Amino acid sequence: MMDPRLYNRFRLSLLTGSVFICGIAEGMLLPLISTLLEKNGVSSTVNGLGTTAIYIGMLASAPFMEKPMQKVGYKPFLFIGLLLITLSLFLFPFYINLLFWFVLRLLVGIGDSMLHFAAQTWITISSPEKRRGRNIAIYGLSFGIGFAVGPLLVPLVSFGLYVPFLTGSAACLVFLLPLLMLKNEYPETDLRRGHRSARWPERYRQVILIAWSGLFCTFGFGFLEASLNNSFPIFALRNGYTLDEISSLLPMFVAGGLLTQLPIGVIGDRFGRKRLLPALTLLGSLSFMMAGILSQNYYGLLFALLIAGMLIGSLYSMSMSYVGDMVDRPLIPLGNILMSISYSFGSMAGPIVGNKMIDLIPKGGLFFGVSGILMLVSFSLILHHSLRSKKKSLAGSNRPLY
């Protein structure tokens, strides 16, 4: 019988390991497919629309996650999600067809949604409040490392189309089988009472009203992440960057996030995320503006993407902690579902808007578009905090003086 403290560490390691391997798969798949289609003469608009398949899968499956997970538990969700990603990666090189690849990316999106929903809910609910930011930062750090490693597998395509896909599939198997060693657990009993008694539109409305700015944060992160991974290779190829240069530039944003992910999580626990998030997103917006200005200079662009990553590479995990701070514990799973939906909408919009910005402003439009979205995110956070403070002030002023 494993010591409970040791088992908790083992469970956290497997959860973060699964998220790490999911990051590798997604980080490799987006630029690899984008590059292959661009080299085969597929238009940037069709290329961007194809990328939305992953996020359509996430979006379509997210609203149906809560009840099944309460019935079957976290473990089956993790296992099935990672299994879908593993099988899809394995099948990609066997039939090169836009429709077939669209379906496979749809399945990757569903698997990704299942894995992340189970992992982030399990970590958020099982973490003590004083360590929530730290533990979620470790979760985000694991995904970020995987996402940074993913694009480094893209050059493997020079050894044959099968090599990067089968490498990614084999990496998934490394964590798929150990998941069977976990004890299955279920959402807490109080998740099945109280808030669950309300009809689902009312529960959705509650979370949106309480945490709308946090949800917009995840939309913004999905937008910038999908823009970079799909639209950046197109921008780079059209502006004379080599495949090796693309493979070194693309991970810079994620690498910057890895450097600051854990420190920012701890700082948020200590000083409050409602103050930290607006400042980081504003500075992140300015750094992407700088990337647009320096877009024709390899080293300037590399530096700008690194700084942007250091500032907002941890935006999703910060948003997760921020939403967890604002909503009641029984509504955390629903909050995670709405975050996934918001992220999916942002990820669907990112490649379409990003590719259109490349067409309109070939030398920096991609980065100016991301900068504008982050500016709106920062404004929404400031506005939400101001409205909440005003509401609390009015409530306080209406109290009796005796």
pLDDT digit string, tens, across residues 8-23: 778 888 888 889 988 8
Q: Outline where 272-398 has alpha helix (H).
A: 273-293, 298-312, 315-326, 332-360, 365-397
- CA 312 to chain CA centroid, nearest Å: 12
Tokens at 217, concatenated: 């944060």
Residue 401 above 60 pLDDT?
A: no
pLDDT at 192: 45
Q: Residue 165: inside a domain, yes or no? A: yes
pLDDT at 393: 67
DSSP 8-state assignment for residue 193: S
Residue 169 above 60 pLDDT?
A: yes
pLDDT at 189: 43
Q: Residue 6, CB half-sphere, CA atoms under 13 Å: how many?
A: 3
Tokens at 181, concatenated: 């060693």
Residue 80 above 90 pLDDT?
A: yes
Q: Which range in 25-29, 86-90, 353-357, 391-395 is most confidently predicted, on average pLDDT?
A: 86-90
Q: Residue 124: inside a domain, yes or no? A: yes
Spatial CA neighbour of 228 closest among 165, 295, 283, 282: 295
Q: Indicate the number of domains in the chain.
A: 1
Write down the pTM of the prediction: 0.74
Q: Residue 236: inside a domain, yes or no? A: yes
The CATH number assigned to the domain holding 26 equals 1.20.1250.20
Residues 6+ apart with CB under 8 A from 2: 10
Q: Residue 126: inside a domain, yes or no? A: yes
**Alpha-carbon dihedral angle through residues 364, 227, 35, 39, given to the nearest 10 degrees:** -50
Q: Residue 122: inside a domain, yes or no? A: yes
pLDDT at 148: 74
Q: Residue 402: inside a domain, yes or no? A: no
pLDDT at 199: 67
Q: Grade residue 84 by pLDDT with cuts at 50, 70 and 90.
A: very high
Q: Grade residue 285 by pLDDT with cuts at 50, 70 and 90.
A: very high
Locate tokens 């626990």: which residue? 269
Residue 230 above 80 pLDDT?
A: no
Q: Are 188 and 125 in contact (CB under 8 A)?
A: yes
Per the prediction, the chain carries an average pLDDT of 84
Question: Over the stretch 326-339, which tens digit does the pLDDT of each residue have?
Answer: 887 778 778 888 88
pLDDT at 137: 83
pLDDT at 306: 94
Q: How distant, in Å, are the alpha carbons of 70, 103, 211, 243, 272 from that of 321?
A: 22, 33, 11, 36, 10
Burial annotation 217-232 (CB, 10 A radius, 16+ → b, else e): bbbbbbbbbbbbbbbb
Residue 46 above 80 pLDDT?
A: no
Q: Are 118 and 81 in contact (CB under 8 A)?
A: yes
Q: How distant, in Å, are the alpha carbons of 234, 237, 238 from that of 363?
A: 12, 12, 9
Spatial CA neighbour of 234 closest among 42, 5, 27: 42
Q: Are 25 and 105 in contact (CB under 8 A)?
A: no
Residues 113, 111: Cα–Cα separation, whole Å: 5
Burial annotation 135-144 (CB, 10 A radius, 16+ → b, else e): bbbbbbbbbb
Domain carrying residue 326: 4-397
pLDDT at 247: 76
